[in-house]
Amino acid sequence: MLHPVGPLPAAVYWRRRLLVLLLLLAVLGGGGWLAFTALSGGSGETTAAAATTEASTAAGEPPALARVVPSLAGVRTPTPAPEPAAEPAPASPAPGDPCGDDMIELEVRGPGSVPVGGKPTFELVVTNVSSVPCVRVLDEGLQEIVMSDASGNRVWGSNDCFPENSSDTRTLAPGESVAFPLVWGGLTSEPTCTAARTAPAPGQYALRGRLDTKTSAETAITLG
């Protein structure tokens, strides 16, 4: 093997062997260089990517994933409106308390029809409609009956010309009624009682009662 044998000079065979050896070294060296380059390039890219990420983080920029998917801490959830406070239930009246306007009922009673010039008697009726006894001031100065015509014009008032005063405070049992009679003279009047008083014309009229701040529904009356 070390001493070539053939018709050609020995130098030819040595050159051929040297050329084959050089080609083999070139192939091996080229493969190694490609492998080294591949490994060095991948490691460099990884290092560069890591360096870029670290630089972005150091600069205060959020990571790429955080820029795509928002953080739950940054999502604002609606705040529920506060529920309104419950209003306290009104206190029930106690026995012996004053009779409020909502605890009594007021009504005017009288004949359904009256001849012109007649002198009928009307009644102002006060009833305790609550479930407990209560106290109410029933002074005559707080009582009044007013008559109006079909257009709502005031025709007569019980306190216009003959106002009365008394001191009358009573305890009304549940369901108890008290009636106060009042005679109408059959003539018109006004609060100063200075205008001429005449008999109202025949027609339809309405009576409404009052006890201080409490008023009644209208009661129809016919003059004929």
C-alpha 118/C-alpha 112 separation (Å) is 13
Residue 207 burial by Cβ neighbours in a 10 Å radius (0-12, 13-18, 19+): buried
For the chain, which ranges sit under pLDDT 50? 42, 49, 55
**Domain map of the chain by residue range?**
10-67, 97-223
Instruction: Report whether 63 contacts 57 (CB < 8 A).
Output: yes
**Amino acid 92: pLDDT:** 75
Q: What is the pTM of this model?
A: 0.59
C-alpha 174/C-alpha 104 separation (Å) is 10
The class level of CATH for 97-223 reads: mainly beta
**Amino acid 49: pLDDT:** 47
3-state secondary structure the chain: CCCCCCCCCHHHHHHHHHHHHHHHHHHHHHHHHHHHHHHHHHHHHHHHHHHHHHHHHHCCCCCHHHHHCCCHHHCCCCCCCCCCCCCCCCCCCCCCEECCHHHEEEEEECCCEECCCCCCEEEEEEEECCCCCEEEECCHHHEEEEEEECCCCEEEECCCCCCCCCCCEEEECCCCEEEEEEECCCCCCCCCCCCCCCCCCCEEEEEEEEECCEECCCEEEEEC
C-alpha 107/C-alpha 122 separation (Å) is 10
Q: Model confidence over 131-173: pLDDT tens digits?
A: 999 999 999 999 999 999 999 999 999 999 988 888 999 999 9
Distances in Å between the alpha carbon of 101 and those of 93, 215, 220? Answer: 12, 9, 23
> Which residues are registered as beta bridge partners of 220?
206
C-alpha 189/C-alpha 153 separation (Å) is 12
**Amino acid 116: pLDDT:** 94
C-alpha 147/C-alpha 110 separation (Å) is 12
